[in-house]
Amino acid sequence: MGSTSKKTFLPLDPVSFTDKLPDSTPYCPEPLEDILKDVNDCIIPGLTHWQSPNFFAYFQANASTAGFLGEMLCSGFNVVGFNWISSPAATELESLVLDWVGKLLKLPSSFLFSGTGGGVSHGSTCEAVVCVLAAARDKALERLGGWEHMTKLVVYASDQTHFTFQKAAKLVGIPPSNFRLIETSFSTGFSMSPEMTRLTIEDDVKSGLVPLFLCATIGTTPTGAVDPIVELGKVAMEFKLWLHIDAAYAGSACICAELRHYLDGVELANSISMNPHKWFLTNMDCCCLWIKEPNLLTDSLSSDPEYLRNKASKSKEVVDYKDWQIALSRRFRALKLWIVIRRHGLANLMYHIRSDIAMAKRFEAFVRKDERFEMVVPRKFALVCFRLKPKAEEEDEGRELNRKLVEAINSSGRAFMSHAVAGGIYVIRCAIGTTLTQQHHVDALWKLILTRFGRKALALRKRCGTEFVGDEDEILDDFIAAAEM
């Protein structure tokens, strides 16, 4: 899955890659040994190794041997469970597993099949959001009296909300000019302000527009911010908006009792999604979506061609998942998630999340201890956002310095990190959560950062003509030792 012997990231020249492989399809079959040799010689060297324990960029894509087994079985069975009769066990297991995970998150029964709602697996949050936006759109247009009101519908999110929501809104026909990004700031920890949201909605209502959809996030991509669900839920209820909770990253963490409070107010939402392929040891791809009123989803997405009609579907006593998603065909993802949960159990899933958070706290302590660095925002979950402190009134220089530091870390091949911009400040993101990452990998990352920063400092001193005494490696050792004192 991951190896410390392989470089996590290796910059690749596209031309050098294409030169290694033929530009036309082979006419005759080729030996498997030749194909695997090309994989080893051409493909693997050009991969960014997401399963490396030294991968700290974006948000992790968890994997496990249980997830790998589930993926193997899913591919081996290769069922296409678009409706109940096409593979009854696939549908029934999915309904069961979505209730399992919903109960782990302590979702209200209104989101579960055992209650009055239900859940479905998708490949990604983007797919899930297109579906719930379509359902919200059709519900609103029916109330307003027709499609001629389409240009009045407005979607609300924060400027920290994942860009996939803007893409999804465009796909369901919402004019880009009707997508409102509520500005966030350091004062709110980059969470969405209910007051600003309310004022924005009120202005739109006065302008004759129709508030449609509000997205709240548990663990934003740039900084891990958490939006206030209870307060935003009240705003959504007041103005009759569809409230969706995007818990793609941090939703998994809410299985831990000490973190469940981040979902307080979920009962006010119409739908919620989370991605087990991020932090739940479930190999790509797997997104869980729960909805309070499944009929709104099926009313918007259902189809009934003659060649798919059957007695079970006609009875309305079974679930046809084709009507809960965009595509007709679907993978047996539930098998994979079912195996992961059974193989690890709640105890080990919670241990995995808590250990990642503990390592993030350790990295945070390294940053806070070294006065040359600073935390830009408080740590959330297992995401640490930090930077090298710029000199006073030299913010542009600080941005460039941090950008070059990220480049130096990544070009070393020994770790991979990414960045974000929060409140106009360039921040380095350390996202801990890859399955194989252990404490010594986190310690090595911090030492790598200090080393790369030290080399940048030495290079700068050389360019400035500053003299220094001693071997460069010795100076770097002293530099790192000073940070550890």
DSSP string, 438-470: -HHHHHHHHHHHHHHHHHHHHHHHHHTT----S
Q: Total domain count for the chain?
A: 2
Mean pLDDT check: name the lowest of 295-304, 308-317, 470-479. 470-479
**Pairing state between β 287-291 and 373-375:** unpaired
322-329: average pLDDT? 94
Angle formed at CA 120 by CA 55 and CA 309, multiple of 5 degrees: 140
**Pairing state between β 383-388 and 425-431:** antiparallel
Last residue of one domain, picked from the residues 281, 303, 332: 332
- Alpha carbons 91 and 85: distance in angstroms, whole number: 9
Using DSSP's 3-state secondary structure scheme, residue 374 falls into strand
Handedness of CA 453, 49, 58, 171 (dihedral sign): positive
Last residue of one domain, picked from the residues 332, 350, 377: 332
Specify the pLDDT at position 350: 98
Q: Do 264 and 371 belong together in one domain?
A: no
Q: Do 434 and 370 belong together in one domain?
A: yes
Contact 117, 290 (CB under 8 A): yes
Q: Is 8 domain-assigned? A: no
Q: Is 58 domain-assigned? A: no
Specify the pLDDT at position 454: 66
Write the burial class of residue 323 (CB in 10 Å: 0-12 exposed, 13-18 middle, 19+ buried): buried
Q: What is the dihedral of CA 55, 56, 60, 65, to 10 degrees?
A: 40
CATH number at residue 477: 3.90.1150.170
- Alpha carbons 334 and 113: distance in angstroms, whole number: 15
Residue 470 in this model has a pLDDT that exceeds 70: no
CB-CB neighbours of 403 under 10 Å = 13
Last residue of one domain, picked from the residues 280, 303, 332: 332
Hey, what are 427's tokens?
A: 């921040």
Q: Which structural domain range is residue 262 located in?
A: 80-332
Cα atoms in the Cβ-side hemisphere of radius 13 Å centred on 140? 25
Hey, what are 385's tokens?
A: 């956002």
- Alpha carbons 71 and 60: distance in angstroms, whole number: 18
Q: Is 20 domain-assigned? A: no
Question: Please, which pLDDT band fits residue 338 given cuts at 50, 70 and 90?
Answer: very high
Q: Is 162 domain-assigned? A: yes
Q: Do 218 and 302 belong together in one domain?
A: yes
Residue 7 in this model has a pLDDT that exceeds 60: yes
- Alpha carbons 43 and 53: distance in angstroms, whole number: 20
Name the more confident of 483 and 207. Answer: 207
Write the burial class of residue 24 (CB in 10 Å: 0-12 exposed, 13-18 middle, 19+ buried): exposed
Residue 178 in this model has a pLDDT that exceeds 50: yes
Q: Do 354 and 385 belong together in one domain?
A: yes
Q: Is 355 domain-assigned? A: yes
- Alpha carbons 239 and 332: distance in angstroms, whole number: 38
- Alpha carbons 305 and 302: distance in angstroms, whole number: 10
Specify the pLDDT at position 368: 96
CATH number at residue 222: 3.40.640.10
Q: Do 156 and 279 belong together in one domain?
A: yes
In sequence order, the 6+-apart residues with CB closer than 8 A to the CB of 41 are 20
Specify the pLDDT at position 390: 85
Residue 472 in this model has a pLDDT that exceeds 60: no
Q: Do 363 and 272 belong together in one domain?
A: no
Residue 106 in this model has a pLDDT that exceeds 60: yes
Q: Do 369 and 306 belong together in one domain?
A: no
Q: Is 16 domain-assigned? A: no
Q: Do 328 and 346 belong together in one domain?
A: no
Q: Do 432 and 298 belong together in one domain?
A: no
Q: Is 220 domain-assigned? A: yes
Instruction: Give pLDDT tens digits for 126-162.
Output: 999 999 999 999 999 999 999 999 999 999 999 999 9
Alpha carbon 272 to chain centroid, angstroms: 14
CB-CB neighbours of 312 under 10 Å = 15
* 42, β-bridge pairs: none
Contact 184, 193 (CB under 8 A): yes
DSSP string, 283-299: -S--EEEEES-HHHHHH
The dihedrals phi and psi of 294, each to the nearest 5 degrees, come to -55, -30
Contact 158, 191 (CB under 8 A): yes
- Alpha carbons 131 and 321: distance in angstroms, whole number: 12
Q: Do 328 and 354 belong together in one domain?
A: no
38-59: average pLDDT? 91
Question: Please, which pLDDT band fits residue 44 given cuts at 50, 70 and 90?
Answer: confident
Q: Do 153 and 244 belong together in one domain?
A: yes
Q: Is 177 domain-assigned? A: yes
Instruction: Give pLDDT tens digits for 55-101.
Output: 999 999 999 999 999 999 999 999 999 999 999 999 999 999 999 99
Query: pLDDT over 90 for what percent of the chain?
Result: 81
DSSP string, 218-233: BS-TTT--B--HHHHH
Give the mean pLDDT of the chain: 90
Q: Do 168 and 315 belong together in one domain?
A: yes
